[in-house]
A and B are shown apart, each in its own frame.
Chain A
Amino acid sequence: MSRSALASGSSIRFSPRPFAAGRAPAPVRILAGLVLPSALLLLWHNASTRGWAPPQILPAPAVAWSSFLDLLASGDLRTHVQASLIRVLISFALGSAAGLALGLAMGLSRRLDDLFGAVFHGINQVPTLGWLPVLIVVVGINDRLTHILIAQAVFVSVAINTQRGIRQVPERLVEVARAYRLSRTQSLRKVVLPAAVPQIFTGIRFGLANGWASLVVVELLVGSEGLGYLMSWGRQAFQLDLVLVAIVAVGIIGWILDAGLARLEGTFTAWRTGEAAA
C-alpha cells in the first residue's frame, strides 16, 4: 500500500473479488442455458409430428401449450400451485424452525448429541417417502399426513446439517472467542453461527428440495388439489398434456424456491464478495 494511493482518494472502495472473471457475459450465459431445453423441445416436437409415440402418450408441444393457457385462464393452475405452495411452506417453516433449534442444541451440547445423534443419522437414511405407509396408518390420508411428512424431511436435514456446521467451526477461531472471553451468546453470534451458515444452508436447501419433491408424490395419493393431484388426474383422464404442464410447473417452482434460499444465503455470506452488510 503506498501513501500516494491512500492520499488520492478520500475513501477506498472494495470491489468484489473477480471470482466470476472467467465467466462469459450474462446474455451469452443465458443463451447457453437455453441450448439444452431448445434441443429437448425440438426432439419432443419431432417425436409427436413424426408419430414416434402415439398422441395419447405424447401430445404435441402445441397441445401442451394450449392446455397450459387453458389452465392459466381458468385459474385451475393457480389453485393447484397455490395448494402445493401453501402445504410446502407451512411444513418447511415448521420443519426448519424445529430443525434449527435441535441442530443448534446438538451442535452445542455433546450430551444432547449423544442422545439424539445416532437416531437422527439413522432416520436420515430412510427416504422421506419410506414413512408414508406408517404415517397413513397413524394419521390417515389427509392434509396432516402431507404436513408431517414434509416437515419431517426438512427437519431432519436441517437438524443434521446445523449440528455438523457447528461442530466443524475451526478450533482456531473458537480460541479467539476464548481469548477475548466472549460469552456463549457472543461467540455464537460472532464466531460460531457465521462459520456454520454455509452448512446450515446446505441443510435448509436440501430439506426444501427434498420436501418439495416428496410433496408432489404425496399429492399423487392424497387430496384433491395441488400439482401432484393435477398430474394424477391428468394421467387418469389420459390427458398427458396436463401431466406435462404440471411437471414443468413443479420443476420451475422448485428451482425458484431454491434460488430464493440461495439469495437469502447470499445475504448472510455477503462478506465473501465484500459487500459490507453493515
Chain B
Amino acid sequence: MPWAGGFSAIDRKPLKPEVDIMTTKGILEIRNLGKAFPANGRKGSLQALDGINLSIRPGEFVSIVGGSGCGKSTLLRLISGLDDEFQGEISIGGAPVRGTSLDRGIVFQDLRLLPWLTAEANIALALENSGLSKADKRQAVAEHLKLVGLEKFAQAYPHQLSGGMSQRVAIARGLVNRPGLLLLDEPFGALDALTRSRLQAELERIWREEGITMILVTHDVEEAVFLGDRVIVMEPGPGRIRRELRIPLPRPRRRSDPRFLEIKEDILREFTGPETAEAESLEPAGRPLAEARLDWAA
C-alpha cells in the first residue's frame, strides 16, 4: 500500500516554536456555547448552536455525528478560532480561545486547497510559519505525501486530482505541522471504502503515536465508533448535543466485534427511532429532509 510506510518513519522535530504549548496541553472546555447567524430574509436569526457543553481532555479522540445542518462544521470553526463571534466560552487549559493558532489544525469539509498551488505546495503552506528550515519543510512535506499515498502526485494541481486524492492532500496539510488539536470535518467522505478504512487506521495510529487531540466530524456512525473514545450525537434546530457515549472497546477495534455492532446499532437507532421525524422537522427550512436520511444510508 502506498502509505504503508506509515507514520513512524517520520522524524519528529520541534515544530512551531512560537506556539504556546501550554494552551493545548490543557483541557478543551466548551461552556454553554451558542452561535446565531443572521437569517436571510426572515426576521430574527438562525440559531446554529445552542447550549453546547463539552470538555475534551488532551489526547482524547472525540467523534461527532449528526445529520446535515446540526451545526457540526460551525462548532469546529468556533473551536479553530476562525470565528470569534459566539455566546458562551471556549477555552483550552483555562485560556480563552481567541483567533487561530498553528496548534489548532483544521481539515475543512470543503477541503479548500489553493487551486494555483501543487499538492506539495498546498501541504507546505501549513509549514510556512512553522520555523522549520527549508530542508526540514521539504522532508516533512514529502513524508506526508507518502503517508497519504500521493508521492507521485506531488506536482499535480488540485484540478488534476480526484475528489479522494484532494481529500488526502487536505488531510496531509492538516497533519503536517503536528497541531496539538486537530479538527477534522468529514475528512473521509469522498474516499472509496478501501482507502477510507486504510486512512482511518492510519489516522488512529498517528493519534496514538503523537498524542494529538482529535475531534472528528463524520456522517458515518461506524467510523465514529471505530475511532472515538467518545461519540457525541448532535441534533438540529438549534444544533445541540443529543447524546454522548463512551466507547469502552479496546483498540485496535474490530468492526465485526459483536459489542462494536451493538454500539453502532444503538447510535443508529437515534436516527431511525420515532423521534426522528420530530428531529428532522426541526431542520432549517430549505434543506431537503431526504438529504438527512440519505446521510445515514451508507
Contacts and interface: CB of A to CB of B under 8 A. Distances in A.
Interface of A: 1, 3, 6, 11-12, 14, 17, 172-173, 175-176, 178-183, 186, 190-191, 194-195, 269, 271-272, 274, 276, 278
Given A11-B152, A14-B157, A179-B100, A172 B114 contact: no
Interface of B: 1-2, 80, 82, 100-102, 105-106, 108, 110, 112, 114-118, 121, 125-126, 128-129, 149, 152-153, 155-157, 159-160, 162, 165
Contact of A180 (B102, B117, B153): B102
A173 B105 CA distance: 15
Contacts of B100: 178-181
A191 B121 CA distance: 12
A135 B108 CA distance: 54
28 contacts: A1-B149, A1-B165, A6-B2, A6-B152, A11-B152, A12-B152, A12-B153, A12-B156, A14-B156, A17-B159, A17-B160, A172-B108, A175-B82, A179-B80, A179-B105, A179-B106, A180-B102, A180-B128, A181-B102, A182-B128, A191-B114, A195-B116, A272-B159, A274-B157, A274-B159, A276-B155, A276-B157, A278-B118
B99 to A, nearest CB: 8
B217 to A, nearest CB: 16
Contacts of B106: 179
Majority secondary structure, B binding face: loop
A178 B82 contact: yes
Contacts of B159: 17, 272, 274
A195 B149 CA distance: 28
A190 B128 CA distance: 10
Given A14-B157, A181-B101, A190 B152 contact: no
A175 B115 contact: no
Given A1-B149, A6-B2, 6 more contacts: A1-B165, A12-B152, A172-B108, A191-B114, A271-B116, A276-B155
Given A175-B82, A180-B129, A181-B101, A194 B114 contact: yes
A274 B119 CA distance: 12
A12 B119 CA distance: 14
B117 A1 contact: no
Contacts of B149: 1
A66 B83 CA distance: 71
A185 to B, nearest CB: 11
A190 B114 contact: yes
Contact of B125 (A14, A172, A190, A195): A190
Nearest to A195: B116
A216 to B, nearest CB: 37
B114 A173 contact: yes
Nearest to B1: A3
